[in-house]
A = this chain, B = another copy of it.
């Protein structure tokens, strides 16, 4: 989507939108992620935030990361799990996920269907930080977090 496009109405069809490009999840080659795409639904100089749609295939996951900015997430399709801090939660359509500043988080499509969600973020925001080996080891000290990170959140 051109950032200055203000087409009044854009149709949706099967989680794709008119005038919205299907993009790679992110460009950071250091980040670990799997089978996830990004569509920027709203991005405009007059809007203080952006609204994006992310979708991962079965077994897909977003990067484990944290940053100063917040995420405000609404699940649009499918089921899965998320990690927020040290909490692991099951996700269902229309559930809300709040990721506070500097909180480790990851989303995982843990069923045999895609997991798709809307994510609202401030237009001006910092870059995500990835966990160091020490931080990752600390996270994995909690068995339910380790199980989540290994893709077995209900184990």
Contacts and interface: CB of A to CB of B under 8 A. Distances in A.
Contacts of A47: 49, 70, 72, 120, 122
B51 A74 contact: yes
Contacts of A122: 47-49
> What is the total number of copies of this protein in its complex?
2
A87 B46 contact: no
A98 B7 contact: yes
B85 A8 contact: yes
Interface residues of A, number: 45
Interface in A79-108: 82, 84-85, 87, 89, 91-101
Interface centre among A7, A8, A92, by most chain B C-beta atoms within 10 angstroms, is A8
